[in-house]
């Protein structure tokens, strides 16, 4: 997926599962670098810079990162200290159909800088103790890497993004023993996950998909932000985190059913060329088509090609 990102293809990795099942550990948003237990995001960062080092001479790369959380249906920028006001705006001509207004995109040049952004943002996440997890994530977190690559030919520019998503855990109030504020948070978490499940169900249903049925992306901010990742222009992997404990059987089965529905989704990843590059490619294709048409005409008439 990292190789594809450098080539201009969007990518997404998201972890889903009940609270306490290891999603944050798996994704690495707690960022404990080094060793065999390092999570997905630190490994992606290392692989990305290794891939950049192997690019042809003359290629230039620009990297930016953003880190947000969705907490009680409000979007918060984790790379900005204090309160932040981030909103979603529809942008039909933009990749994914939406843009985030007010989010900070930090330019980075080294592994250390990108890892520091991950670590700083992770410390700012909303967490709290529940009956099932002493440090439960109370928000959905999305760490996004934006890659712009320009080849030696300046017309060849690709722009792609990779979402790395640590979803809040699905919860049952009876088991988490949540009360007051924690209970309200749990309701909002489950609401967002339900909306995500409804989108997955709609996209995974062959009959509904072929009939052009409605996909309820707009039911939550999470599903709006992940619209490209689910059924859109992205290569997407979903990691289902489960518990081996007998006491968690119901939640484990629910997670596996959720993941099984996700397997039926068909995405349509495409190469993300910049507008200038797309125009240049279109111009070359038109010229090639004209040349082929001339060749066919000359073959038919027995003539010779005109000088160009």
Annotated binding site for ATP: 17-24
Task: Enumerate the β-bridge partners of residue 127.
Answer: 137
Question: How many Å from the N-terminal Cα to the C-terminal Cα in the chain?
Answer: 42
d(CA 267, CA 277): 24
Residues 137/126, Cβ–Cβ less than 8 Å: yes
Burial annotation 75-88 (CB, 10 A radius, 16+ → b, else e): bbbbbbeeebebee
Q: Which of 164, 183, 151, 128 is nearest to 28 (CA)?
A: 164
Strand 74-77 and strand 60-71: pairing?
A: antiparallel
- Which helix (H) or strand (E) element contains residue 207? helix 206-210
Cα separations in angstroms, 55 against 42, 50, 58, 151? 21, 9, 9, 10
- Which helix (H) or strand (E) element contains residue 52? helix 40-53
d(CA 190, CA 199): 14
Residues 255/26, Cβ–Cβ less than 8 Å: no
Please report, in range form, the residues annotated as the binding site.
17-24
């Amino acid at each position: 997926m990292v190789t594809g990102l450098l080539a201009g293809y969007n990518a997404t990795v998201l972890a889903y599962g009940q609270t306490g099942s290891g999603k944050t550990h798996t994704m690495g948003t707690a960022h404990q670098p080094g060793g065999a237990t390092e999570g997905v995001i630190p490994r992606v960062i290392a692989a990305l810079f290794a891939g950049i080092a192997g690019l042809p001479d003359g290629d230039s790369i620009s990297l930016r990162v953003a880190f947000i959380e969705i907490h009680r249906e409000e979007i918060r920028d984790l790379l900005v200290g204090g309160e932040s006001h981030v909103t979603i705006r529809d942008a039909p001509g933009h990749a994914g159909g939406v843009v985030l207004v007010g989010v900070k995109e930090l330019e980075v040049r080294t592994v250390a800088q990108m890892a520091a952004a991950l670590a700083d943002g992770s410390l700012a996440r909303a967490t709290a103790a529940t009956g099932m997890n002493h440090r439960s994530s109370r928000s959905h977190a999305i760490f996004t890497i934006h890659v712009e690559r320009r080849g030696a030919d300046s017309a060849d520019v690709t722009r792609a993004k990779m979402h790395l998503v640590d979803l809040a855990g699905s919860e049952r109030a009876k088991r988490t023993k949540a009360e007051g504020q924690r209970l309200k948070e749990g309701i909002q978490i489950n609401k967002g996950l339900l909306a995500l499940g409804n989108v997955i169900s709609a996209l995974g249903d062959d009959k509904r998909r072929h009939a052009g049925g409605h996909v309820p992306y707009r039911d939550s901010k999470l599903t709006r932000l992940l619209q490209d990742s689910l059924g859109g222009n992205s290569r997407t992997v979903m990691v289902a985190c489960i518990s081996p404990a007998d006491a968690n059987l119901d939640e484990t089965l629910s997670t596996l059913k959720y993941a099984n529905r996700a397997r039926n989704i068909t995405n349509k990843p495409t190469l993300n060329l910049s507008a200038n590059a797309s125009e240049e490619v279109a111009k070359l294709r038109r010229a090639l088509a004209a040349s082929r048409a001339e060749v066919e005409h000359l073959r038919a008439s027995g003539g010779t090609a005109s000088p160009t």
